Structure 1
Amino acid sequence: MTQEKSRAARFPAGLRKALIAFALAQFICSFAGSNMNVMISDISRDLDTDVHGVQLAITLFLLVMAALMIPGGKLTDVFGRKWCLILGLLLFGAGALISSLAPSLPVLIIGYSVFEGVGTALLIPPVYILTTLLFQGVSARARAFGAISAMGGVGAVAGPLIGGFIAYAVSWRAAFVAQAAVVLVIVLLSRRAVEDPLPADRSRPFDVGGAVLSAAGLILIVLGILATDDDIRLCIALLAAGALVLTWFFVAVRRRERSGREPLLSLRLFRNRASNLGLITQNTQWLMVMGTSFVVSTYLQVVRGFNAIETGGVFTATTAGVLISSLGAEPMAKRRPQRTLIMAGFVVTIAGIALLLTLGRSSGSVWTMVPGLFVIGLGLGGMLTPSVNVVQSSFGEDLQGEISGLSRSVSNLGSSLGAALTGTILVAGVDGAAPGRAYLWAMTAVAGAGLIGLVAAFFLPRTQPSS
């Protein structure tokens, strides 16, 4: 009987291959966002730049993803999900190869921040849309999203470990070559295994003005955060400009809908309470992922003098925590409401940060940071999948393209905000007289974001787990 249930629970061979391609795609994009953190010293030395320069490249990569993810999701309806997936993978791979040969920071920004960022914005929405379309039923879809989200979380927290090992054994350039190699595997697998059940509609209108406004607004807000350390007046001006542009965007969307034209993003997406709260939890989760990774990596390398492999080794604890909690995500989802799992994840992650700061400051040994990082991994791994399920399951198939783009945009905006906010705090102090205090304040900011996410999760609907 158990074997029969096990066979019934398994996906058909074709769907399993498609799911492997989707999970690997999410993994490599998350990996690209975090593996740079352990190579800060090596890249700074090789390209004659500093911590701020590498932080800029990382933040711009995350920002390009966030700014273009909504238009990327909409383009899937026009050109087709599989077409956008393959094109995105090819752009990502080309960017990785350009980055591996970069002789200077500007070339690295072109390859890594621009090419890989645009590629990710094109390929990630199809991953989530095709998963929704190909995996039928709440249970099957939850399992598929669980695998993809878990690989995304593992890619984010294992990025420092894997990237550190490659950088130490070969060079930081080899880490980009490895990204290109993985992308090639995904392209070959996707061409054979991935089928798009819905035809593309080339006649469907695309809201170019909305795409420009949404991207410009998000870019201005993150640039405003980056400018905090340099000029507070510039910071306020950029933040205000970003808020005005985003307001203009929503006014334009409303006007376009009232005139009967299709907007970039339907306002219906913002009328769903569960989805809105779920988006807030997604944003703060990825802010915590990237913020923790950047702060701890920078502290270990700049303050403690660790090399890439040593820094990556410390993050093994976080990777282990994410893997353990991800493996238990599906059984827990059958017994506990998603709201409960998300709240528990935030509580555990904040407790992990408190443990990290307490033990890390009480001893001169860097290994006292390991327990806190492990607990952080447990919390993050346990809540990434439920948040995705809350958002994606709030809408029907007709809005999957838009909600997937919005969901991924919000998540990547969280990552870029995590790198920008904590990086700005840390960069201001690592070269000063009290780098430890800057580290403390940066991690406190991450914990503060966790509290915001916890409050949002508290107000999620009290739905029961599905069988």
Structure 2
Amino acid sequence: MADPASTRPSTDLRRVLIPLALAQFICSFAGSNMNVMINDISEDLGTTVQGVQFAITIFLLVMAALMIPGGKLTDKYGRKLCLNVGLTVYGVGALISAVSPGIGVLILGNSILEGIGTALLIPPVYILTTLLFTDVTSRARAFGAISGMGGIGAAAGPLIGGLITTAISWRAAFVFQALVVVVIIVLSQKYVRDPLPADRTRPFDAGGAVLSALGLVLVVLGILLADDNIVAMLALVGAGALVLVWFFASTRAKERAGKEPLLSTALFRNRTSNLGLVTQNIQWMILMGVSFVVSAYLQVVRGYNAIETGVVFTAATVGLMLSSLAAERLAKRRAQRTLVLAGFAVTIVGIVVFLVVVGLSDSVWAFVPGLFLIGLGIGAMLTPSVNIVQSSFAEHLQGEISGLSRSVSNLGSSLGAAIAGTILVAAITTQPGRSYAVAMSVLAVIGVGGLVAAARLPAVPPSPAGSPAVPSQPRRPAQPS
């Protein structure tokens, strides 16, 4: 097969990046923009902070639970078809959310339909990027643009959502999402081409999809119950762990029987990729955790409105944009491992600075230094972590690793909102200062875990693995890790 990058003009490839990056932007935006609408939504729909937190977490959880099956479906039905179906489902969910009369309909539109749409559309974004951008420099640039837009979407979500909510209504923020989706669909139809044919005869492991999704759902729901019922929490987390063990056991059994499972166990035998997945999970856990904790604190404790809360988050957005825009230049000068290590170090320092400065001053400016450093650190490591994972595997495993990679990242987002949110909500009305400080401290400790994982990454990554059908793979220059 001809190299896709060599058969298409570079200008066309740059155009391809526009809809792909916008798709990642809007999905990340959806995961964080509701944080500044907590008061508006709860008052309008007659619910509580816990109710809005539940809706946010379920959205992130649905994405995480269905991302692996979504990635696998791209091989069977094609990457472009899955992208467009996902965008359509997402847009319908956004419109339902915009007219929701109660929290139940909001959960249906935002948490369920937008979550399903995201799980279908995000894996194709990363698979197409990996297949179309084949050399080190262009792939680093492409992942930099897409991951950067994802991080910017998450960081700028509070600001954009706050502007729309204050100027019009929180419902208009969902209309905005639907309009962006329409633009992406139009651009996708014009510029995006799938370099590989779909294989409709390829089997799909429905049983594995159910087990993997159920296991992840039970674990995160258990964490959400931590402040209400510790026995129920332990029961759900334990049940989720058992279901996931069942999933892996059934996967190995299917491989031994010569059947194609939902995920190849070869994905978990790559040490570099495994460590990269850990760093991805923790990055998004910190980003979404910080976003929820600070947003809730500003609105519930400080009494800030949506736009004021969003403006505070501009510091994180600026930091993230600066480091994301420098991703290509940094990738040429520094090893990917070095960038991930530096990113975690700066992020941890940012959380410490945030706690110290905000603890000493009631000024709104006290939030700026810490949030800026957090955004700067996370932006610096988003792209190299993605490149580490995607470049660890050959072409025929891209559907599976993309789904797994995005699932792990979105699981981090849902865990960040669940863990930090649970700590904060548990005592925000009685001990607001202490609960928010504890939640941020927990995120800093989690960041240390990411730093340790990054330190264990190899300085020089191995060649893409798992492709006996492509004999030239071991002799290719190593992709950036």
**Alignment partner of 1:379 out of 368, 372, 377:** 377
Partner of 1:459: 456
Instruction: Give the distance between the partners of 2:154 and 2:298, measured in 1 at CA.
Output: 18
Question: CA shift at 1:13, angstroms?
Answer: 2.5
Q: Show structure 1 runs of 4+ deviating over 6 A.
A: 464-467
Partner Cα distance (1:364, 1:249) in 2: 50
1:198 aligns with 2:196: yes
Pick the aligned partner of 2:285 from 273, 283, 287.
Answer: 287
Q: What letter matches 2:447 in structure 1?
A: G
* Whole-Å separation in 2 of the counterparts to 1:139 and 1:373: 30
Q: Which residue of 2 aligns with 1:106?
A: 104
Q: Quote the offset at 1:365 in angstroms.
A: 1.3
Name the aligned partner's letter for residue 144 of structure 2: G
Q: Pick from 158, 161, 164: which aligns with 2:159?
A: 161
Give the letter for the 2:457 counterpart: L
Pairs within 5 Å for 1:13-92: 13-92=11-90
Letter in 1 for 2:111: S
In terms of mean alpha carbon deviation, does 163-172 or 130-139 score higher?
130-139
Contact 1:97 1:111 in 2 (8 A): yes
Offset of residue 466 of structure 1: 6.9
Structure 2 length normalisation: TM-score? Answer: 0.94
Match of 1:303 in 2: 301
On the 8 A contact 2:86/2:121 being kept in 1, the answer is yes
CA–CA separation in structure 1 for the residues paired with 2:364 and 2:208: 48
- When the two chains are superposed, the root-mean-square deviation of aligned CA atoms in Å is 1.3
Name the structure 1 match of 2:144.
146
Q: Distance in 1 between matches of 2:25 and 2:13?
A: 18
Aligned residue in 2 for 1:359: 357
Write the deviation string for residues 338-372 of structure 1: whole angstroms up to 9, x where unpaired: 11100100000000000000000101212211111
SS at match of 1:201: coil
Letter in 2 for 1:157: A
Deviation track 1:402-424 (CA, whole Å, cap 9, x = no partner) reads 00000000000000000000000
1:331 is aligned to 2:325: no
Q: CA deviation at 1:11?
A: 6.5
Q: What per-residue deviation string (whole Å, max 9, x for no partner) do you get for residues 173-203 of structure 1?
A: 0000000000000000101111111111111
> Do 1:167 and 1:174's aligned partners in 2 also have CA atoms closer than 8 Å?
yes
TM (norm. structure 1) is 0.97
CA contact (8 A) 1:334 1:466 kept: no
2:445 maps to amino acid: G
Query: Quick one: which of 332, 345, 348 aligns to 1:347?
Result: 345
CA distance in 1 between counterparts of 2:358 and 2:31 reads: 25
Report the residue type matching 1:462 in the other structure. Answer: A
1:168-247 equivalences in 2 (<5 Å): 168-247=166-245
Counterpart residue identity of residue 19, structure 1 = L
Q: Report matched runs for 1:104-143 at 5 Å.
A: 104-143=102-141
1:312-461 superposed matches below 5 A: 312-432=310-430, 434-461=431-458
Q: CA–CA distance in 1 between the matches of 2:326 and 2:460?
A: 20
Matched AA of 1:38: V
CA distance in 1, matches of 2:34, 2:411: 18
CA contact (8 A) 1:256 1:262 kept: yes
Larger mean CA deviation between 361-370 and 68-77 belongs to 361-370
Cα distance in 2 for residues equivalent to 1:336 and 1:198: 32
The residue that corresponds to 2:467 in the other structure is none
SS in 1 for 2:193: coil
Classify the secondary structure of the residue corresponding to 2:100.
coil
1:27-58: CA deviation from partner (whole Å, max 9, x where unpaired): 00000000000000000000000100000000
Partner residue of 1:248 out of 246, 249, 266: 246
> Would you say the 8 A contact 1:287–1:415 is kept in 2?
yes
1:196 partner SS: coil
Does the Cα contact within 8 Å between 1:139 and 1:466 map onto a contact in 2? no
Alpha-carbon distance in 1 for matches of 2:9, 2:194: 17
Q: Which runs of 5+ in 1 are unaligned?
A: 1-7
| Aligned CA distance change for structure 1 residues 227 and 466 (closer, same or farther; 3 Å) | closer
- Name the CA distance, whole Å, in 1 between partners of 2:268 and 2:294: 35
Aligned twin of 1:4: none
Q: Counterpart of 1:385 in structure 2: which amino acid?
A: T
Instruction: Write the distance in 2 (CA, Å) between the matches of 1:28 and 1:128.
Output: 15
2:59/2:110 contact within 8 Å kept:
yes
Name the amino acid aligned to 1:221. V
Between 232-241 and 324-333, report the one with greater CA deviation. 324-333
Code of the aligned partner of 1:445: V
Q: Is the 8 A contact 2:145 2:325 kept in 1?
A: no
Q: In the alignment, is the contact (CA less than 8 A) between 1:88 and 1:122 conserved in 2?
A: yes
Distance across 1 between alignment mates of 2:139 and 2:316: 27
Q: What is the match of residue 97 of structure 1?
A: 95
Quote the offset at 1:133 in angstroms.
1.1
> Percent of pairs identical after alignment?
68
Native 8 Å contact 2:289 2:416 kept in 1 = yes
Count of equivalent residues:
458
2:249 and 2:278 mapped to 1: Cα distance? 22
